[in-house]
Amino acid sequence: MDYAAQVSALIEAGHAFYARGWVPATSGNFSARVDDERVAITVSGRHKGKLTLDDIMFVDMDGNSLTAGKQPSTETALHLSLYRRDPTTQAVLHTHSPPATTLSLLLKEALSLRDYEVLKAFPGIDTHEYEVVVPIFANDQDIGRLAVTVEHYLDYHLDNYGYLIAGHGFYTWGSSVEDACRHIEAFEFLFECEMLMRRMTR
């Protein structure tokens, strides 16, 4: 995997996602696997609409900074647990869009997405006659503890493409940055549809 291209793709994702309102006020964080021992990730607190190479740093698989003077996002542990559990995961993207945040508070345990044609954006799905369940985890400022909760869920739910954190945002991943970006776009579209449907059927 050409990691320089992946890093450029992370920067482009930041600009595109900010323009669409998915990463307001320095929120969200993005990463890409460099090799078995390193991950490129956005530096804590950087504005995703203005990302440059200076806003990307490297960490080892334990979350230690490998870039002098830079600290990764506090949510790095959530990224690393996804890389550790699946060697095919090459990128992890985290957004804070209004529909994702609102739905995560409105619904208690999970969001069920079914009968949408766009579900075919996810690997292994070739029909709209499918249900994708997006689990919702309680937010936790102890990220290590939250990572354990997420891992426990994923251990028992192998058919998973992303998860919500209540009042916080959304995580998804993929086999490249491009792949993970497609997942974000598909999920954000679905979250908007779910919001619209709730408004129209009130």
Residues touching Zn ion, count (CB under 5 A): 1
Q: Report in angstroms how near the CB of residue 37 gets to Zn ion at its nearest.
A: 25
Letters for 120-159 (x = contact with Zn ion by CB under 5 A, - = none) are ----------------------------------------
Q: Which residue is listed with tokens 């291209």?
A: 5
CB 77 within 8 A of CB 60: no
For 186, residues 6+ apart whose C-beta sits below 8 A from its C-beta are 118, 119, 121, 122
The values of phi and psi at residue 110, to 5°, are -160, 155
* Residue 169 or 174 having the CB closest to Zn ion: 169
Q: Report in angstroms how near the CB of residue 29 gets to Zn ion at its nearest.
A: 7
Letters for 160-189 (x = contact with Zn ion by CB under 5 A, - = none) are ---------x--------------------
**How is 144-156 classified by DSSP, letter by letter?**
HHHHHHHHHHHHH
Q: Report in angstroms how near the CB of residue 25 gets to Zn ion at its nearest.
A: 11
DSSP assignment letter at 72: B
Q: Which of residues 1-40 bind Zn ion (CB under 5 A)?
A: none
Q: Report in angstroms how near the CB of residue 28 gets to Zn ion at its nearest.
A: 6
CB 63 within 8 A of CB 80: yes
Q: What is the rounded CA–CA span in Å between residue 94 and residue 180?
A: 10
* Residue 71 or 112 having the CB closest to Zn ion: 71
Name the residue whose CB lies closest to Zn ion: 169
CB atoms within 10 A of CB 134: 24
Q: Report in angstroms how near the CB of residue 26 gets to Zn ion at its nearest.
A: 10
Using CB under 5 A, list all residues that contact Zn ion. 169
